[in-house]
């Protein structure tokens, strides 16, 4: 009875939060001039399409539910990703185009642009594993974007867009599951898990200062979720019931704690900086532990194929066993969430973080 009461209370809280959230949208629509995105595959909207990398998602069944078009855009999802929903919630366009996508131009990017690259990390060595765009290069693209924006909007309007725009950062998981714990670079020899976290936080600090110096002020940095509970990781141990890898989750929690400390320090040191950590770990853990409360039937496997290892080219139109209804699944492939999950996460983080900028 107690467990049932707790679940009913949680469901009621979720409904109340959603009502308050959409009330906020109605009140603030149009006040954010642009959404600018940095990060990895959680928010990449197609930049990897033009790169000489094996990590792509510009083919079916990726994108099969994208805005009714069924078009594979390069997003690692059956549809939209969280930042697309942020953009829509801010009253901007319903998706954020990739900066390197030749179908879009500076007129499109004036209200939203994505520099993210699937497979990248905070550590430049992580980007080298699959030959994708390092975070430093994303900053260089941002500088190029500013020059183009000034030519399109005029210097003063461009400056206002840069300073009043919201910056969404989603990055860090690959540094651990693709690099450190995968033994893909010498980082596991150079650092303990704890010192590697410190190293990543130092690089994150440098990155925030860089974009601050370029004019960014309203920045949301999404913390890590329970990466040890990704289907790709937990299905490494089928003999043991496919539990989450607690070592990975412990590192994620440590990273989030250090990220918050760094955020507090920078906000005190840099005038007018509004840097916020979008804490996701506990909320996403609750989705995995209570999937039915959010309308899901499966939180352990991905929709694509067997849902245990399929990712990128291994998740293709010829992959057998792919589900017919992705909305029943928390995960789309062995790493990435479905569009439905991304919408739920976006609503939560908008309510807790991305609606709090002044």
Active-site positions? 41, 333, 336
Strands 35-39 and 166-170: parallel
Q: How far apart are CA 173 and CA 118, in angstroms?
A: 11
Q: Which two tokens stand for residue 346?
A: 């976006």
Stated length of the chain = 358
**CA-based R_g, the chain, Å:** 19
Cα end-to-end distance, the chain, whole Å: 43
Tally of CA atoms within 13 A in the half-sphere of 263 that contains its CB: 19
Spell out the residues 6+ positions from residue 88 whose beta carbon is closer than 8 angstroms to its own: 94, 95
Q: What is the largest CA-CA distance in the chain?
A: 63
Distance of CA 25 to the CA centre of its chain: 21
Is 280:226 a contact under the CB 8 Å cutoff?
A: no
Q: Which two tokens stand for residue 303?
A: 């929709």
Q: Which two tokens stand for residue 82?
A: 């969280």
DSSP letter string over 113-148? EE---TT--SSHHHHHHTT---HHHHHHHHHHHHHH
Q: How far apart are CA 55 and CA 59, in angstroms?
A: 12
DSSP state of 9: H
DSSP state of 84: H
Q: How many CB atoms lie within 10 A of CB 252?
A: 23
Q: How far apart are CA 269 and CA 61, in angstroms?
A: 46
């Amino acid at each position: 009875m107690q467990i049932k009461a707790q679940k009913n209370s949680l469901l009621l809280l979720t409904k109340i939060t959603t009502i308050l959230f959409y009330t906020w949208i109605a009140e603030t629509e149009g006040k954010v001039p642009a959404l600018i995105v940095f990060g990895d595959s959680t928010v990449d909207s197609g930049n990897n399409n033009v790169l000489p990398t094996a990590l792509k998602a510009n083919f079916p069944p990726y994108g099969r539910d994208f805005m009714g078009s069924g078009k594979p855009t390069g997003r690692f999802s059956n549809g939209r990703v969280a930042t697309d929903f942020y953009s829509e919630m801010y009253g901007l366009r319903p998706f954020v185009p990739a900066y390197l996508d030749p179908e879009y131009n500076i007129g499109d990017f004036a209200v939203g642009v994505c520099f993210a690259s699937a497979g990248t990390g905070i550590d430049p060595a992580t980007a080298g594993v699959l030959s994708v765009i390092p975070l430093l290069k994303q900053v260089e693209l941002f500088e190029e974007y500013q020059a183009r924006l000034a030519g399109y909007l005029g210097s003063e309007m461009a400056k206002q867009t840069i300073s009043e725009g919201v910056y969404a950062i989603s990055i860090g998981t690959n540094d651990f599951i693709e690099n450190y714990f995968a033994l893909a670079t010498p980082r596991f020899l150079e650092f303990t898990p704890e010192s590697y976290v410190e190293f990543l936080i130092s690089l994150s600090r440098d990155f925030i200062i860089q974009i601050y110096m370029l004019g960014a002020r309203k920045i949301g940095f999404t913390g890590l979720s329970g990466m040890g509970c990704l289907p790709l990781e937990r299905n490494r141990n089928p003999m043991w019931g496919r539990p989450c890898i607690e070592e990975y989750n412990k590192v994620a929690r440590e990273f989030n704690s250090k990220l918050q400390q760094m955020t507090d320090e920078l906000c005190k040191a840099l005038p007018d900086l509004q840097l916020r950590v979008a804490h996701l770990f506990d909320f996403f853990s609750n989705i995995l532990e209570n999937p039915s409360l959010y309308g899901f039937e499966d939180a352990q496997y991905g929709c694509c194929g067997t849902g245990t290892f399929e990712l990128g080219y291994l998740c293709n139109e010829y992959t057998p066993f792919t589900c017919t209804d992705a909305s029943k699944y928390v995960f789309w492939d062995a790493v990435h969430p479905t569009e439905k999950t991304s919408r739920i996460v976006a609503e939560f983080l908008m309510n807790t973080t991305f609606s709090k900028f002044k």
